[in-house]
Amino acid sequence: MAYLRIEYFSNALHRTANFEMMIPEEPPAGIPWEKNESQSRPMKTLFLLHGYTGKAGNWVPPGVAEKYNFAIVMPTAENSFYLDGEATGRKYQTLVGEELVDYVRKTFSLAKGPEDTCIAGLSMGGFGALHTGLAYPDRFGKIAALSSALIVHELKDIKPGGGNAVANYEYYRECFGDLSTAAERDVNPEVLARRLKADGKKIPGIYMACGTEDFLIENNRAMHRFLESEAIPHEYHESKGVHDMHFWSEYIVKAAEWMFG
Amino acid sequence: MAYLRIEYFSNALHRTANFEMMIPEEPPAGIPWEKNESQSRPMKTLFLLHGYTGKAGNWVPPGVAEKYNFAIVMPTAENSFYLDGEATGRKYQTLVGEELVDYVRKTFSLAKGPEDTCIAGLSMGGFGALHTGLAYPDRFGKIAALSSALIVHELKDIKPGGGNAVANYEYYRECFGDLSTAAERDVNPEVLARRLKADGKKIPGIYMACGTEDFLIENNRAMHRFLESEAIPHEYHESKGVHDMHFWSEYIVKAAEWMFG
Amino acid sequence: MAYLRIEYFSNALHRTANFEMMIPEEPPAGIPWEKNESQSRPMKTLFLLHGYTGKAGNWVPPGVAEKYNFAIVMPTAENSFYLDGEATGRKYQTLVGEELVDYVRKTFSLAKGPEDTCIAGLSMGGFGALHTGLAYPDRFGKIAALSSALIVHELKDIKPGGGNAVANYEYYRECFGDLSTAAERDVNPEVLARRLKADGKKIPGIYMACGTEDFLIENNRAMHRFLESEAIPHEYHESKGVHDMHFWSEYIVKAAEWMFG
Amino acid sequence: MAYLRIEYFSNALHRTANFEMMIPEEPPAGIPWEKNESQSRPMKTLFLLHGYTGKAGNWVPPGVAEKYNFAIVMPTAENSFYLDGEATGRKYQTLVGEELVDYVRKTFSLAKGPEDTCIAGLSMGGFGALHTGLAYPDRFGKIAALSSALIVHELKDIKPGGGNAVANYEYYRECFGDLSTAAERDVNPEVLARRLKADGKKIPGIYMACGTEDFLIENNRAMHRFLESEAIPHEYHESKGVHDMHFWSEYIVKAAEWMFG
Chains that touch B (3 or more CB pairs under 8 A): A, C, D
Residue B210 CA to residue B51 CA, distance in Å, equals 14
From chain C, the residues in CB contact with D166 under 8 A are: 88
Asked if the Cβ–Cβ distance from B53 to A16 is below 8 Å, we say: yes
Q: A245 to chain D, minimum CA–CA distance in Å?
A: 25
Interface test with D, best of B4, B7, B20, B33 (most D CBs within 10 A): B33
Confidence band, pLDDT 50/70/90 cuts, at residue C32: confident
What percent of chain C has a predicted confidence (pLDDT) above 70? 96
> Rounded to whole angstroms, how far apart are CA atoms B69 and D149?
32
A69: alpha, beta or left, given left = phi > 0 and alpha = psi -120 to 50? Answer: left
Q: What is the pLDDT of residue A139?
A: 97
Residue C36 has pLDDT above 80, yes or no: no
CB contact under 8 A, A14 and D31: yes
pLDDT (0 to 100) of residue A185: 98
Calculate what percentage of chain C has a pLDDT beyond 90.
86
CB-CB: which of D5, D30, D107 is closest to A23?
D107
B137, B58 Cβ separation under 8 angstroms: no
Whole-angstrom Cα distance, residue A131 to residue A120? 11
Per-residue pLDDT of C145-167, as tens digits, reads 999 999 999 999 999 999 999 99
Structure letter (DSSP) for residue A26: P
* pLDDT score for B35: 61
Task: Measure A53 CA to nearest chain B CA, in Å.
Answer: 4
Amino acid D35: pLDDT: 61
Closest CA to B117 of B49, B76, B71: B71
Select the residue of C30, C31, C165 nearest A32 (Cβ to Cβ): C165
Please give the ipTM for the structure prediction. 0.94
DSSP string, D34-56: S------SSBEEEEEE--TT--T
Q: Is the pLDDT of residue C61 over 60?
A: yes
Chain A residues lying within 8 Å of C34, measured CB to CB = 53
User: Would strands C2-10 and B2-10 be described as parallel, antiparallel, or unpaired?
Assistant: antiparallel
* Residue B111: per-residue pLDDT: 87
Residue A171: which of B58, B88, B166 has the nearest Cβ? B88
Rounded to an integer, what is the distance from CA C38 to the centroid of its chain? 28
CB burial of C44-60 (b: ≥16 within 10 Å; e: otherwise) equals bbbbbbbbbbbbbbbbb
Residues of B in contact with D30 (CB under 8 A): 166
SS3 C9: strand
Q: Does A50 touch chain C (CB under 8 A)?
A: no
- Report the residue of chain B nearest C32, measured CA to CA: B14
Contact list in A for residue C30 (CB cut-off 8 A) is 166
Burial of C154 per CB tally in 10 Å (0-12, 13-18, 19+): middle
CA separation for the pair B208, B230 (Å, rounded): 16
Q: Which of residues 223-242 of D touch C (CB under 8 A)?
A: none
- pLDDT tens-digit series, residues C66-115: 889 999 999 999 999 999 999 999 999 999 999 999 999 999 989 889 99
C104 residue type, one letter = V
Query: Of C215, C36, C192, which is closest to residue C128 (Cα–Cα)?
Result: C192
Neighbours of chain A (3+ CB pairs under 8 A): B, C, D
Hey, are the CB atoms on C168 and D88 less than 8 Å from each other? Answer: yes
* Displacement of CA C47 from its chain's centroid (Å): 7
Contacts of D116 (CB under 8 A, 6+ apart): D44, D45, D110, D141
**What is the average pLDDT across A197-213?**
98
**Residues from chain D contacting residue B58 (CB–CB below 8 Å):** none
Look at residue C27 in the predicted model and tell me its pLDDT: 67
Which residue of C5, C7, C9, C74 to mutate against B (max B Cβ within 10 Å)?
A: C9
Could C16 and D87 be called an inter-chain contact, meaning their C-beta atoms sit closer than 8 Å? no
Contacts 24+ apart (CB under 8 A), B102-107: B103/B8, B104/B21, B104/B45, B104/B71, B104/B73, B106/C41, B106/C109, B107/C2, B107/C23, B107/C41, B107/C108, B107/C109
Q: Best interface-test mutation with B: which of D33, D168, D210 has the largest number of B CBs within 10 A?
A: D33
Phi, psi of B17 (to 5 degrees): -120, 175
- Please give chain B's pLDDT, 261 residues, in tens: 899 999 999 999 999 999 999 998 876 777 776 665 556 667 899 999 999 999 999 878 878 898 899 999 999 999 999 999 999 999 999 999 999 999 999 999 898 899 999 999 999 999 999 999 999 999 999 999 999 999 999 999 999 999 999 999 999 999 999 999 999 999 999 999 999 999 999 999 999 999 999 999 999 999 999 999 999 999 999 999 999 999 999 999 999 999 999
Residues of chain A in contact with residue D4, where contact means CB-CB under 8 angstroms, are 4-7
Nearest to D53 among B28, B52, B215 (CB): B28
Residue B144, H or E segment: strand B142-146
Hey, are the CB atoms on C4 and B9 less than 8 Å from each other? no
| Residues 2 through 41 of chain B touching chain A, CB cutoff 8 Å | 7, 9, 13-16, 18
Q: Is the pLDDT of residue C37 over 70?
A: no
Nearest beta carbon to residue A15 from set B16, B54, B174: B54
Residue B241 to residue B213: CA distance in whole angstroms: 5
Task: Identify the pLDDT of residue B149.
Answer: 98
- Supply the pLDDT for residue D36: 53
Q: Which residues of chain D are under the pLDDT cut of 70?
A: 27, 33-40
B9 contacts in A (CB within 8 Å)? 53
Band of pLDDT at residue A32, cut at 50, 70 and 90: confident
- Of D249, D48, D219, nearest to D144 (Cα)? D48
Torsion of CA B64, B69, B71, B72, to 10 degrees: -10
Residue type, position C252, single letter:
I
Residue A146 confidence (pLDDT):
98
Beta-carbon contacts of residue B163 (< 8 Å; ≥ 6 apart): A88, B169, B171, B172
Tens-place pLDDT, residues D130-168: 999 999 999 999 999 999 999 999 999 999 999 999 999
Read off the pTM.
Answer: 0.96
Helix (H, G, I), strand (E, B) or coil at D261: coil
Handedness of CA C225, C227, C230, C235 (dihedral sign): negative
For the ranges C119-128, C220-229, D55-64, D221-230, the lowest mean pLDDT is seen at D55-64
* Residue numbers in D near C78 (CB within 8 A): 13, 15, 78, 89
Residues on chain B touching D166 (C-beta within 8 angstroms): 30-32
Which DSSP string corresponds to D93-118?
Answer: HHIIIIIIHHHHHHHB-B--SGGGEE
Which pLDDT tens digit goes with each residue over D11-37? 999 999 999 999 988 767 777 766 655
Per-residue pLDDT, averaged over C4-12, amounts to 96
Separation in Å, CA of B246 to nearest CA in chain C? 27
C54 close contact with D: CB closer than 8 A: yes
Pairing of strands B15-23, B2-10: antiparallel
Lowest-confidence pick of A36-40, A112-116, C61-65: A36-40
Residue to substitute from C33, C35, C164, C166, interface A, most A β-carbons within 10 A: C33
Average pLDDT over residues C219-248: 97
CB contact under 8 A, B215 and D33: yes
Q: Which residue of C has its CA nearest to A1?
A: C58
Residue in A105, A108, A177, A107 with CA at minimum distance from that of residue A136? A105
Mean pLDDT value of segment A29-40: 65
Category of D123 on φ-ψ map: left (φ > 0), alpha (ψ -120 to 50) or beta: left
Which is nearest to A61 in space by CA: A242, A26, A70? A70
Interchain CB distance below 8 Å, C86 and D168: yes
Average pLDDT over residues A39-48: 86
A38 pLDDT higher than 70: no
Could you say which residues from 93 to 112 on chain D have a Cβ atom under 8 Å away from some Cβ of chain A?
106-109
Cβ-nearest to D53 among B31, B53, B215: B31
- Identify the DSSP state of D258: H
- Residue C34 binned pLDDT confidence (cut-offs 50, 70, 90): low
CA dist., res. D206 & res. D209, Å (int): 10
What is residue B42's predicted lDDT score, i.e. its pLDDT?
79
